[in-house]
């Protein structure tokens, strides 16, 4: 005698019905009927995308222990519901074992820096290995993502210190280059200033010489019997008095010693002439 039993199947799921312990049919989403006690619901299979996070602890080629987190996104193939339900006892444990196998065979062949650089290649290797195996059991692997690579805390501190040292070295080099540029520009400016100062002094001395020459010519023409030597003596004496006046009128000058006597001017003149003769010789 059979008693019909009604049940509701959720969207994106199918219910596996067995008759007397043997697979009979799949009930799709909606209202389903099972004949009790000859038929029974053995279980359900979801077509939703599922995610499994696997933490793998291993070491790199340069003997750095690290923990990698691999996220596997998988889904049941609609055409292979029978294999997905009856082939595996624990699907998540099967996927975890394959992830362990791939990661622990790949990571020990790479340095830590290479692992961070080739994270995408590792994820592709995990996905390919799982796809080849799990497809036979009715599961398709949608994505394999390496979401985290976490070395030992001391290793991370050492890496940060190395990076900090490199940046400090770069900063010191840039600062030194900046100081070099400042010194070069300062030296160029100083050289240019000295050059312009020398040009100014040369023009000043040329103007003084031209003025003296004009004064000597005018004085010789205006005073009869005056020789060039007399004119030079007069000019030197005039410059001497101008120098004494300038020194005495300076703000920081408190006392000025002026030689006295009849021969003071002559002595000054002779000293200047001797000095000038020494330069010429």
Specify the pLDDT at position 254.
66
Specify the pLDDT at position 77.
92
Convert the pLDDT of each residue in 220-266 to its tens digit: 666 666 666 766 776 777 777 777 777 777 777 766 666 655 555 55
Specify the pLDDT at position 142.
93
36-41 mean pLDDT: 85
- pLDDT of 103 > 60? The answer is yes
How far apart are alpha carbons 58 and 192 in whole angstroms? 67
- pLDDT of 94 > 70? The answer is yes
53-57 mean pLDDT: 92
- Between 246 and 13, the more confident residue is 13
Specify the pLDDT at position 276.
59
Least confident of 36-45, 83-92, 222-231: 222-231
- Between 74 and 65, the more confident residue is 74
Backbone angles phi and psi of 56, in degrees to 5? -115, 125
Instruction: Give the whole-number percent of the chain exceeding pLDDT 70.
Output: 83
Other Cβ atoms less than 10 A from the Cβ of 5: the count is 14
Band of the pLDDT at 70, cuts 50, 70, 90? very high
How far apart are alpha carbons 265 and 234 in whole angstroms? 10
Backbone angles phi and psi of 51, in degrees to 5? -130, 140
Which residue from 125, 87, 128, 98 is spatially nearest to 109, judged by alpha carbons? 125
Per the rule left: phi > 0, alpha: psi between -120 and 50, beta: everything else, 17 is beta
How far apart are alpha carbons 33 and 2 in whole angstroms? 12
Which residue from 177, 64, 77, 185 is spatially nearest to 135, judged by alpha carbons? 77
Report the alpha-carbon angle 247-248-251, nearest 5: 85
Convert the pLDDT of each residue in 165-189 to its tens digit: 888 888 888 888 888 898 888 888 8
Specify the pLDDT at position 96.
92
Which residue from 181, 186, 235 is spatially nearest to 213, judged by alpha carbons? 235
Specify the pLDDT at position 34.
86
DSSP classification of residue 152:
-
Mean pLDDT over the full length of the chain: 82
DSSP classification of residue 226:
-
DSSP classification of residue 103:
H
């Amino acid at each position: 005698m059979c008693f019909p039993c009604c049940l509701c199947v959720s969207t994106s799921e199918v219910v596996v019905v067995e008759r007397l312990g043997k697979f009979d049919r799949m009930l799709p989403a909606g209202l389903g009927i099972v004949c009790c006690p000859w038929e029974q619901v053995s279980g359900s299979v979801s077509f939703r995308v599922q995610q499994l996070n696997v933490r793998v602890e291993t070491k790199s080629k340069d003997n750095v222990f690290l923990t990698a987190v691999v996220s596997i996104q998988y889904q049941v193939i609609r055409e292979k519901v029978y294999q997905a339900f009856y082939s595996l006892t624990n699907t998540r444990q099967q996927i975890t074992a394959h992830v362990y196998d791939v990661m622990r065979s790949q990571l020990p062949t790479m340095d830590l820096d290479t692992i961070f650089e080739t994270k995408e290649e590792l994820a592709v290797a995990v996905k390919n290995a799982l796809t080849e195996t799990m497809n036979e059991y009715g599961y398709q692997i949608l994505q394999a993502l390496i979401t985290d690579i976490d070395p030992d805390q001391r290793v991370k501190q050492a890496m940060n210190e190395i990076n900090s040292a490199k940046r400090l070295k770069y900063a010191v080099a840039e600062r030194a280059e900046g100081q070099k540029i400042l010194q070069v520009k300062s030296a160029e400016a100083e050289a240019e200033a000295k050059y312009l100062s020398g040009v100014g002094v040369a023009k000043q001395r040329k103007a003084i010489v031209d003025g003296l020459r004009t004064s000597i010519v005018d004085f010789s023409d205006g005073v009869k019997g005056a020789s060039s030597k007399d004119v030079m003596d007069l000019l030197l004496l005039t410059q001497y008095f101008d120098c004494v006046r300038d020194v005495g009128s300076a703000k920081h000058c408190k006392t000025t010693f002026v030689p006295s006597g009849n021969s003071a001017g002559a002595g000054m003149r002779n000293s200047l002439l001797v000095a000038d003769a020494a330069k010429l010789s």
